[in-house]
Amino acid sequence: MWCYRGGSISAEPRINDRIRVPEVRLVGPSGEQVGIVPLAKALELAQEYDLDLVEVAATARPPVCKLMDYGKFKYESAMKAREARKNQAHTVIKEMKLRPKIDPHDYDTKKGHVVRFLKQGDKVKITIMFRGREQSRPELGFRLLQRLASDVEELGFIESNPKQDGRNMIMVLGPHKKKTEAMAGPGPGPPPSGRPRRWRRRTGRRG
């Protein structure tokens, strides 16, 4: 026995009078199986329910059509797609390199970039690069990293404590705000209040 189990619908399925077949396998508004009916009959039922006739399986024989509010369906699909994009957001690790004896102006510039990255919901890998005799003063790098972490503590936290890595010292800052929250913007507007009549009544005997 054939059974419609829902599933995705193509971006722009044929609806109402765009459907050009003699008969369809009809699914009711609540998912109930109506059976194979002439297209004219299906369109009449759509008009009676004040719904659209939407082709949900064009390759089936006969094509499967469902009675639904297509405007509402498109709105809900847009909301689901937006949620899916949010769930697929991945945290990016940015990198910022500093020298242990960085001057105040450069420090403020670098800090500004770190602030921007954290606001975007990204992690930031801070690398202190030692050269020459600076390698004998690791405490300079440690203090600089601690200072930076303190300056941005409202936006991020120390995810990985400072550690020596060859000639460098590395620390990772994590954002308080999740990537999905940083990316979230205004959603689509409210569902359409009305649906224009997109099909014309077809003549034909019912039954």
To 10 degrees, the CA torsion angle through 139, 142, 146, 149?
160
pTM of the full structure: 0.46
CB count in 10 Å sphere of residue 51: 19
Locus of tokens 């409202």: 154
Task: Classify 177 as helix, strand or coil.
Answer: coil
Alpha-carbon distance of 24 to 35, in angstroms, equals 8
- Please report the pLDDT score of residue 178 as a whole number: 74
- Please report the pLDDT score of residue 83 as a whole number: 78
- Please report the pLDDT score of residue 183 as a whole number: 63
Tens-digit pLDDT profile for the chain (207 aa)? Answer: 444 444 444 458 899 989 999 999 999 988 899 999 999 999 999 999 999 999 989 888 999 999 999 998 888 888 888 877 765 556 678 999 999 999 999 999 999 999 999 999 899 999 999 998 888 889 999 999 999 999 999 999 999 999 988 889 999 999 998 765 666 655 555 555 445 455 555 545 444
- Please report the pLDDT score of residue 91 as a whole number: 63
Residue 126 β-bridge partners: 96, 171
- Please report the pLDDT score of residue 165 as a whole number: 86
- Please report the pLDDT score of residue 35 as a whole number: 93
- Please report the pLDDT score of residue 80 as a whole number: 87
Provide the token pair at 206.
């019912």
- Please report the pLDDT score of residue 4 as a whole number: 45
Q: What are phi and psi of 12, to 5 degrees?
A: -130, 75
83: left (phi over 0), alpha (psi -120 to 50) or beta: alpha
CB count in 10 Å sphere of residue 183: 12
